[in-house]
Amino acid sequence: MKRTPLYAAHRRAGGRMVEFAGWEMPVQYSGVIAEHMAVRSRAGLFDVSHMGEIAVRGGGAEAMCQRLTANDLARMQVYQAQYNLLLNDQGGVIDDVIFHKRQPDDFLICVNASNSEKDFEWLRQHATGKIQVENVSADYAQLALQGPLAETILQPLAPIALADIKSFYFAESEVAGTRCLIARTGYTGEAGFELYCSSQDAEKLWHDLLDAGAPAGLVPAGLGARDTLRLEKAYPLYGHELDERTTPLEAGLQWVVKFSKGSFIGCEVLLRQKQAGVERKLVGLELIEPGIARSEYRLLKDGRYIGRVTSGTRSPTLGRSIALGYVEAEEGRAENILEVEIRNKPVCAKTVPLPFYRR
Amino acid sequence: MEIPEGLRYSKEHEWVLVEGKTATIGITEYAQEELGDIVFVELPEIGEKIVKDDPFGAVESVKAVSDIYAPVSGTVLEINDSLPDSPETINDDAYGDGWMIRVEMQDMDDLKDLMTAEEYAEYIEQQKEDDDEDEEAEDDDEDEE
């Protein structure tokens, strides 16, 4: 199993290590609920160095990436970040990623750990001429500082005015003397930053941030809290809500798909699907009887199979049992009562608007 | 880690308090710590029969669901009504207010398969050592690279 540069620091901090996408990662330190609530009310620091980074640069890089993705990269300014999807020719999602435009025709793409090799191969295959595609995952560590106090904690450590970095923009600067790409992005539904630094600087940055943030209540947070936080905000998790047989239109990500930008891989299938309507769609569910819906549990309507749960938990913020799942499109209507099959018993749930939580 | 004397323990980390033919059942301190924050408990109904080594209920943490296995066979006499509303009681007091069910035992011989506090302490020590050995083996692998 792979380890991030912070493995020893996690062990020392009492992190409980588990396998995730081939990496040995901390799932929790003090407890998932305590860490979750710390991020919602104060701030949490996550080691997300398992995430991959791929650099695509050289003349034609933007045009190539436009062909491979759903969102419109031409709309980006330098120092802007963009949520995007790599699609296959069936409109299925190869990966959901964040593009960072460092210069014209110079992108740093943050990709899912489980997909980094696959993405790298896919991008490399499509590179022509002077375009360089480089898997730089091992060079980078990534820390996510998330929560309402994130900016208050980070500002004294940064030589630039963080207020100038708008949502989905970034700066190339320093944090406590460590060179960093500071992006105002995140996966928790709270304000915050994702910091990309050199792997060798990760441990110093980790401790500098925790030391600086401790008086404000900053705590290290694990993948357990990261999952419950993203689920409350209904952010998709690759392998659960997204995969190569699922299109962005089914996943409720039509806002990412910019047909106006011109042709891209998968766009014909998506256009047809848009015109005909999707057959299944992602819905938010709230259980109205006791129980917790888990990934792969069957969804029924009056006993008839209509789909499956992709993620579910008890929401620490809301105190309710929430889930995401795919159902036949017509059963995705608002306030529809359906059943989740939990240990062979039907448990009533209703469809609710997404996200479950909004700050 | 707390392992009270006088209770019997299963390999699946349930504890049993025996009083005559009545057995009170819960999960151990070790189990609740491994599970993390418990947010939901599913228990059988009064009068239901439970069968040794079969699941009789489930505990769910934020992350995952785990079956609870019956350490003995018998008929459910009583369930802990407070758990559905406050499942975190199991985290706070696994051997006390976090008890789950009371059953009338069908066969007292079931107890022979359960461990004493001392045996259970050794058992979880062994499990932890196995975990550590796995880690050391991994460390060795890395050294070789």
Residue B141's pLDDT is 47
Question: What integer is the mean pLDDT of B96-124?
Answer: 97
Classify strands A44-47 and A219-220 as parallel, antiparallel or unpaired.
parallel
Distance from CA of A227 to the nearest CA of B (A): 9
Residue B64's pLDDT is 87
Confidence of residue B136 (pLDDT cuts 50, 70, 90): low
B39, A314: Cβ pair inside 8 Å? yes
Each residue of A288-308: pLDDT tens digit? 999 999 999 999 999 999 999
Residue written as tokens 């460390």? B139
Residue B133's pLDDT is 65
DSSP class of residue A286 equals E
pTM above 0.80, yes or no: yes
* pLDDT higher than 90, residue B63: no
Query: How far is CA A42 from each of CA A10, A150, A214, A219, A221, rounded to the nearest angstrom?
Result: 21, 8, 10, 9, 12
Q: What is the mean pLDDT of chain B?
A: 91
Sign of the C-alpha dihedral computed for residues A288, A290, A295 and A296 taken in this order:
negative
Residue B25's pLDDT is 98
DSSP letters, B22-84, are EEEEEE-HHHHHHH-SEEEEE---TT-EE-TTSEEEEEEESS-EEEEE-SS-EEEEEE-TTTT
Write out the two tokens for A297: 């549990």
Residue B145's pLDDT is 34
Sign of the C-alpha dihedral computed for residues A333, A334, A338 and A342 taken in this order:
positive
Each residue of A210-264: pLDDT tens digit? 999 999 999 999 999 999 999 999 999 999 999 999 999 999 999 999 999 999 9
A294, B42: Cβ pair inside 8 Å? no
Write the single-letter amino acid at A23.
W
Residue to mutate among B62, B66, B91, B142, with most A CBs inside 10 A, is B62
Residue B129's pLDDT is 80
Q: Which residue has the higher pLDDT, B130 or B61?
A: B61
A292, B60: Cβ pair inside 8 Å? yes
Identify the architecture of domain B8-144 in CATH. Beta Barrel (2.40)
Each residue of A4-20: pLDDT tens digit? 999 999 999 999 999 99
Q: Longest Cα pair distance anywhere in chain B, in angstroms?
A: 59
Q: Following CA atoms A126, A131, A135, A141 in sequence, which dihedral angle do they give, to the nearest 10 degrees?
A: -130
Of A1, A36, A343, the CB nearest to B58: A343
Distance from CA of A110 to the nearest CA of B (A): 25
Residue B135's pLDDT is 58
CB A53 within 8 Å of CB A67 = no
Distance from CA of B111 to the nearest CA of A (A): 28
Each residue of B23-37: pLDDT tens digit? 999 999 999 999 999
Residues of chain A with pLDDT under 50: none
Which residues 50-89 of chain A have a CB within 8 Å of chain B? none
Beta-carbon count within 10 A of A249 CB: 21
Going along chain A from its start, the domains and CATH numbers come out as 7-49+138-232 (3.30.1360.120), 279-352 (2.40.30.110)
What is the spatial distance between Cα A325 and Cα A354, in angstroms, rounded to a whole number?
A: 12
Domain ranges of chain B: 8-144
